[in-house]
Structure 1
C-alpha cells in the first residue's frame, strides 16, 4: 500500500562538504510557494542542522542553494540564525528567483541568480527529402513548381515562373523568374544557376536582392546562406569556401 503523504522536508534537505565550504541544499518548494510550507521547512532545518552538528569545522562558510524556492528577508535571516547557532556562517546563495536574490543582497550575501533552465524540447528531425525532381523543359510565366526535395532543371525559368524546393535548386539554364530553396527552413540549401537574370533569390526564410552587376558574371553561380545573409559566389570559389 502506498502513501500519498509527501516526503518530509528533513529528508530532502542536503548538506554536502567540500574543501572550503558547506553546500546546504533546500528541497524544492511546494506548489505555489504556500506560506504554510515555510514553518515546516524551518522546523525541519533546525532539526537537520542540530543532528549534523559537529561534522564540520567551526565558522566554515555555507553556500545556500534554494533554486526556485521563494524566500524573503525574514526567512533568510531565520536560516542564518539557525546556522549561527552551530557556528556556521551563511555567505552565499544560489537562486533562480529574482525576489530571493534581492532579499539576499539586502542582507549582504553574495548571490548567484542562475537562470531557470527550461525543459529542453528536442525537435523532431526534419523529414527526409523526396527524391530529386528532374525537369528538361522551360518553366513558363505563371507556372509554379513545388517539390519536397531537390529540383534539377535543364532549361530556363522565364519571368513569372517560380521554383520552390525543400532542398537545393540547380538550374542548368537562365533564371529570370524566382527560385526558393530550403522552403521549409533548411538554411543549408543552395541555389546553383548557370546564368542569373533574376532580381531576387530566396533560401529558407531569407530574401536577397540581386543587382544587375552581381547577376552578370558570365559563369555559373551559387547562392548560399552565411551569417551575414544570402551571398553569391562563382561555382569555382564556392567549392573552396565550403
Structure 2
C-alpha cells in the first residue's frame, strides 16, 4: 500500500478485483417453519430463507398498539424452541431480526443462551435501533442496522439520498464480525484481522484498522476511510479496491484513504487536510 508524504497526493494504491463477501439482508417473504403463528405483530417466529434460519421478534413500534413486553417475548421464544419436532440441523446459524424492538445486552445474551441449549448459534443481528446495534456489536455479533424489513429487497436509494445518522461503536471488532450501516460508522477501538466494516458513508477508526473496510458501499466515490493506524487486509471505496503492500511502513501515522485519479489513494491525515483545504 503506497503511502503519500506530499500534499500533491499523486501516488495511487494498486487495484484488486477480489470481491467482498456480503450477506443479503433477509425479507418477510421467507418460508415460515412449523410452529409459527401468522400474525407477525404478536408472535416470535422462526423462518427459513435461502438456507438461513431467521428468528423474528415482534416489533416495538413507537406509535400504535402497545408493544409485546419482553417477558412474553421470552416465554414465546422458549416455547418455540421446545415445542414439536426440531427442524434444524445441529449448530445451525441463526440470524436475529429485532426490527423496531429495543434489545439490550442482557436480553441478547438470554437469546443466545436459549439458542445454544437448542443447538443453535446466534451469528448476526438485523435491527433498526441504534442501541440494539451497539449492544450486539459490543457482544461480538455481526450487525446490520437497516431500513424497515419490508423494504430490504427494493432497489438501492438514488444517489444523493440522505444517509442514516452515524453509528458510533466503542468496541473492538473481532475476527468474523461484520458491521453494516446505511451511513457513517465510527469505531472507538480496533478492527482486528477478519473483522469487516461496511458503510454507505465514511468509516472512521479511532484505533488500528487491520481488517476490511468498505466505505461508500452504495457507490459514493466521495467517501473516505480514516484510521489512527492503517494496516488493513483490504480497503474498498465505492467500486474501487486496494490491498496493502507486503512490506509495512517503518512508522504508522493517522491516515486517510480516498479515491483520486484511477484508484484509491492514502495520505497522512495532516497532508490530506492541507490538500482538502486547497480544493
TM-score, length-scaled by structure 2: 0.41
Q: Which has the larger radius of gyration?
A: 1
